[in-house]
């Protein structure tokens, strides 16, 4: 299945792929024709691969326990640090950063069940997504959610190649853990920020799967 969040890109890329392949039939030089066909096929496979949107099995424990937090993005944990979060949580916190390579699924999923209490889009720079400062300086969206177990703050952050964030949620929405909510295109990063007393289940360099990997547990104070 292809994601609805990339329909505009998918149409353009499939059109370009078709043009390249069809054009090759009108090129007399075989080697040039082969290049056109090869690029067209590669572009086709890239489109189908990058914009894929596989189904995920949300853990039953997450659906029953609102304190459990699942990964909102596929990728690798590149950083787990203590921060002072002054935008939404407004307290000392722990930040879990997930880096998405161009090979990862880029559809994002909601990390907890709850209500969206805060949203803000921030235009910015385009540092490589693994750069520590990308969390502060890059183009990003900020999302704050709350449920009976507490608050969580997470950020969609684009990288050096990506220039577009997609989301379809707004303040006041009630969401379920694992529900699709948007996409970060062409290499990006997701920061998940939790109260500092939260129990963290992942380590740096660990790979996680959006909607399936349980990354933390919020502890009610």
Looking at residue 138, the DSSP 8-state letter turns out to be: B
Residue found under tokens 């880029």: 106
Torsion sign, CA atoms 191, 197, 201, 203? positive
Active-site residue, 113 included: no
Nearest of 131, 159, 151 to residue 192 by alpha carbon = 151
Q: Where are the alpha helices (DSSP H) in the chain?
A: 7-24, 30-50, 60-64, 134-137
Rounded Cα distance between 111 and 41, Å, is 36
Report yes or no: 149 and 91 within 8 Å, Cβ to Cβ: no
Neighbours of 36 (CB within 10 A): 18
Report yes or no: 187 and 129 within 8 Å, Cβ to Cβ: yes
Give me the catalytic one of 24, 188, 198, 213.
188
Rounded Cα distance between 184 and 9, Å, is 13
Nearest of 8, 153, 46 to residue 92 by alpha carbon = 153
Active site residues: 188
């Amino acid at each position: 299945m292809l994601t609805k969040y990339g329909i505009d890109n998918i149409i353009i890329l499939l059109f370009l792929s078709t043009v390249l392949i069809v054009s090759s039939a009108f090129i007399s030089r075989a080697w040039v024709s082969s290049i056109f066909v090869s690029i067209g096929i590669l572009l086709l496979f890239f489109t189908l691969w990058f914009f894929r949107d596989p189904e995920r099995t949300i853990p039953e424990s997450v659906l029953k326990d609102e304190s459990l937090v699942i990964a909102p993005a596929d990728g690798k944990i590149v950083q787990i640090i203590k921060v002072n979060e002054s935008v939404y949580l407004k307290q000392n916190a722990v930040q879990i950063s997930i880096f998405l390579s161009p090979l990862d699924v880029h559809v994002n999923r909601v990390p907890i069940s709850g209500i969206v209490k805060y949203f803000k889009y921030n235009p910015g720079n385009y540092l490589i997504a693994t750069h520590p400062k990308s969390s502060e300086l890059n183009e990003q969206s900020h999302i704050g959610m709350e449920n009976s177990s507490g608050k969580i703050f997470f950020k969609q952050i684009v990288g050096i190649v990506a220039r577009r964030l997609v989301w379809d949620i707004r303040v006041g929405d009630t969401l379920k853990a694992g529900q699709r909510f948007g996409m970060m295109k062409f290499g990006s990063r997701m920061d998940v920020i939790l109260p500092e007393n939260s129990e963290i289940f992942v380590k740096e360099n660990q790979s996680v799967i959006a909607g399936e990997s349980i990354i933390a547990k919020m502890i009610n104070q």
